Structure 1
């Protein structure tokens, strides 16, 4: 059977959002947290899959989200832009199909509660930390006892993340320590313009059953701004960014970046710029 694919670039043109922040919810609730640019032209899909595109626009704190639902028509993939309410209906239909076929709860789905009149049941879909959808199922006389059904624990779309540890912490630097003292005295943020990425580490933090992926980046030169004055620097400076920023910008060694953050002295990571809410990749 031939694999059916869809062009992610065409979907981007439809929803008019920029960037590379995508989630993929397959019709069996298997979840993919990001889509690489190498997959854009031929991303494999199935009927009733959901592709989620996000972008934090300039001046906004929270992302704008667009939902694309895939339909297979005559052996080809087509898509429709739908609102969140309709997406929850699609998820409800996918859930019912999966349970009837497999006799168990799909991956990432958790029974929440029955409605007061027991005519509906609410299911929470939480494939990874920070991602959550809620949808409801109508109950009839033939409904399953969702609380007692076994659950699918495996997500075959989960990308195996290998942590790296190539960037050394910076504990002793007269240049950075001077900046740190100046920043702390004035209770201000640090601004970096045109910082050049020289190394990227993938780091994984674990707390109980939760896993958080983040990135430690070394920039080797750029412009440091304080009191509305930019000064050149040509020494290593480490920064910490989230997985969402990395996915949205697809950062690589050699890229030039601009951002604001807070400089702190961490007991493990040394001097590091963190709490970076937004970053721009310069052309």
Structure 2
């Protein structure tokens, strides 16, 4: 009883009751607020679902476009890799060709030249040069149409008019003053869309063949001269022999025998000279 009448105990009991009541009231209020907030969140979510359908569709389209872009990038990279591989193969083939190849661009300047063309023309770097400069010391020796036209003009005509330049023979003088005989062909190169990419000029070195042809002609001339000299000597010897057969004079017979011997010696000298000239021609052919 004394405890119930104690004012401190009463204050503490009242404070405890007030605290418990406040806690219960706060819990109820918080529960009600949470329920209200959940209801408010649920209503917009249900209402927003139809509106989000176009957004999802746009997102799917964007993802598909990104995938297609990635696939295109992969295809382009593959095409570039194949193009680089093809260019490397083409460059290797051109560098190993025995004939010279010059590629003139649409502006008439050389864009590409293989090693054989540099060796044949005697020009270290023809890239960036035009046909007039490269074939300045070149003259046509056999042309199918117009023999007065220069080789440079023929190449420019192929680039300008698109006409095919068949095999023509030309005499070329290198910067080191070395004469070479060339066989040249040129044709225009078109792109996939029909545009003019340039002119390809193929050059073959025919110097050795020309030297052999010259030796054959020289030997033919020597053979003709030799045949004429042999015929003359044989006719002379035959005439002396016939006179000797009909003659009965010992002195005249001695003279005719001496003439026959002299003509035979001349014939031997002629044959020796012919053989010497033939050896000189062979030696010149080896060192030319």
Q: TM-score range by the shorter chain?
A: under 0.3
Of structures 1 and 2, the one scoring higher in RCO (CA 8 A, sep 6+) is 1
Q: TM-score, normalised by structure 1?
A: 0.21
TM-score (structure 2 length as normaliser): 0.21
Query: If each structure's helix is expressed as a fraction of its own residues, which one has the higher value?
Result: 2
Larger Rg: 2
**Greater share of strand:** 1
